[in-house]
Structure 1
Amino acid sequence: MRAAVVTDFGGPEAVQIIERDIPEPGAGQVRIKVAAAALNPADAITRSGVLPADPPMGFGWDVAGTIDAAGADTGWAVGDAVVALEDNLVKALGTHAEYVVVEGSAVAAAPTSVDAVHAATVPLNSLTAAQALDLLDLKPAQTLLVTGAAGAVGGYAVQLAAHQGIEVTALAGEKDADFVQSLGAARFVARGGAPGRHDAVLDAALLGETALEWVRDGGAYAGVMPPFLPAPVRGIRTAAVTVTADGARLKDLVALVDAGILTTRVAETYPLDDAAKAHARLAEGGIRGRLVLLP
């Protein structure tokens, strides 16, 4: 099968398409024939060589596709349309391939309201947003500031928090005001503005100490990248989400997609063979929605 890997760390040109044996699922695992797989900033981190690991390394966290083979005791059957998260930060092969093996517990039935391309944008970003909100432990009517609110994680965080009855202020670029308010933000603040203090901040934009200043004394801060977690001040609880695969939680999030509560966004699609071009487009920035690879 074909798979995207990096053998020498570097820029987008370092992405290679190689041939590998089709992986076999073990007990509790399933093999998914990949229909679509999103490209995320985490893949750029893998490519750059920041992680403490040696190449070759595979790319890809999200997958939408069809069960192709199943080990014992998975509860899944060949032919099931599914989505899943492959949550290993360091991997020899990821979801940017024709086939991927994941734990059966990481899998959820695919949404029925969107196609595989859009479904592939759900697992990583929605689970990251949901698990970050878990860290904040907010109650209805409490106030939350989401930085990077127009991004993939930030957008899901706004929608999930608003659905829970939390009063959301969205911090994003000025041109994104209408968009983030359509997601359920009660208030919009343009990047560079003064959001004031809130019960909590979900810092999807990685602003760190700057965002921490917008949390009230004794409030809570959740980041989305542990190495950039700021030190706590003024009695504020600080934590950063390390996203983990959770098929049961993903099932709930898929249900919210089908209910129209979570909005999927696809910016562009690329053939798997053009993975390097997709990485180059990601590096350019200014993307609203995810780039998706098609084997």
Structure 2
Amino acid sequence: MRAVSYAQFGGPEVLQMVDVPTPEPGPGQVRVRVAASVIHPVDLMIRSGRFPAPLPTGLPYTPGWDVAGSVDAVGPSVDGFTIGDDVIGFSPWLQTTVGTHAEYVVLDAAWLTSAPAGVPATEAATLPTNGLTAVQALDLLALPANSTVLVTGAAGQVGGFALALARVAGLRATGLAGPDDHGFVESLGAAFVSRTDGPTGTFDGVIDLAVIGSSLLDLVRDGGGYVAASPPLRPEPVRGIRTFALEVQPDGSRLGELVKLVTNGDIPLRVADVYPFTDAASAHERLAQGGVRGGVVIVP
């Protein structure tokens, strides 16, 4: 099969198409014929050699976390999936380095769920990683209905999902984003604050996707909650504030709940651009330019 791969760290030019053996599913696993995947900022960081922690295997790497596609083969001890089923899922790449930017990928069946009906694969692929990140951030805060939550980076992929899910949970959300994102933030039922002005007031919880940092703890009430974008950014607790860090985990059941919300129209799916695997370098360059409002999708 063909896969996007790189055998050395560097710029987008290190990405290449290679032929690799088609993987076979083992017990509890499913092979998915990939229809679409997504590129994330962490992919650029790892590719350039700037990721700050050891990875479980060495080069070469096939990147990719999200998958939308169809079941191509089913391993032993798998219930609930049959060949031909349309599915979406999340590969915990930092734990396994099993990448989805390939024609086929083998994942644990527990990491997959049925794809949203009638939704193009290019849109469905934007849900797994960012949707799970957003819902797990809100799970960490565990705020009761009518609580207040501030989401920084609110117009990004995770931020948009976080605002939509906050609305579903009955929270009163405020989104911090650029001036051009005013309408989008308010369309998700959140109050808008421009990042040029900065947030004020007091909140029950903060999800800091824009990596503003520990200064935001000043806006959290005593005993509230704060979620950092990654473990190295988690501040020490003060005033009884619970501090957490995002480490998104695969969860097919939770992803299935998100699919229902997509089907009901509660979660918008956004696609910025679509590139073929053969033009992966351009897709990486597009994401690196910044200002992307939607997923940068890559397809076989």
The total of aligned residue pairs comes to 294
Contact 2:176–2:199 (CA under 8 A) maintained in structure 1: no
Matching residue within 153, 172, 182 for 1:167: 172
Match of 2:62 in 1: 58
Contact 1:74–1:105 (CA under 8 A) maintained in structure 2: no
Contact 2:164–2:189 (CA under 8 A) maintained in structure 1: yes
Match of 1:34 in 2: 34
Contact 1:58–1:94 (CA under 8 A) maintained in structure 2: yes
1:118 alignment partner, SS class: helix
CA offsets 1:227-250 (integer angstroms, 9 cap, x no match): 211222222110012111111110
CA offsets 1:159-189 (integer angstroms, 9 cap, x no match): 001111000011000111111110120x111
1:113 offset after TM fit, Å? Answer: 3.6
Match of 2:206 in 1: 201
Contact 1:132–1:224 (CA under 8 A) maintained in structure 2: no
Q: Distance in 2 between matches of 1:148 and 1:251?
A: 25
Matched, 1:142 2:144: no
CA offsets 1:100-140 (integer angstroms, 9 cap, x no match): 00000011000014110000000000000000100000011
Match of 2:192 in 1: 188
Match of 1:78 in 2: 83
Match of 1:68 in 2: 72
Contact 1:128–1:224 (CA under 8 A) maintained in structure 2: no
Contact 1:37–1:117 (CA under 8 A) maintained in structure 2: yes
Matching residue within 83, 94, 117 for 2:99: 94
Matched, 1:15 2:15: yes
Matched, 1:115 2:120: yes
Matched, 1:242 2:247: yes
1:212 offset after TM fit, Å? Answer: 2.2
Matched, 1:45 2:45: yes
1:2 offset after TM fit, Å? Answer: 1.1
Which ranges in structure 1 are unaligned for 5 or more consecutive residues? none
1:16 offset after TM fit, Å? Answer: 2.0
Contact 1:32–1:100 (CA under 8 A) maintained in structure 2: yes
1:234 alignment partner, SS class: coil
TM-score, length basis structure 1:
0.97
TM-score, length basis structure 2:
0.95
Match of 1:133 in 2: 138
Q: Distance in 2 between matches of 1:15 and 1:197?
A: 45
2:113 alignment partner, SS class: strand
RMSD: 1.2
CA offsets 1:59-103 (integer angstroms, 9 cap, x no match): 000000000000012221000000000013154540000000000
More displaced 10-residue stretch of structure 1: 6-15 or 247-256: 6-15
Match of 2:274 in 1: 269
More displaced 10-residue stretch of structure 1: 259-268 or 86-95: 86-95
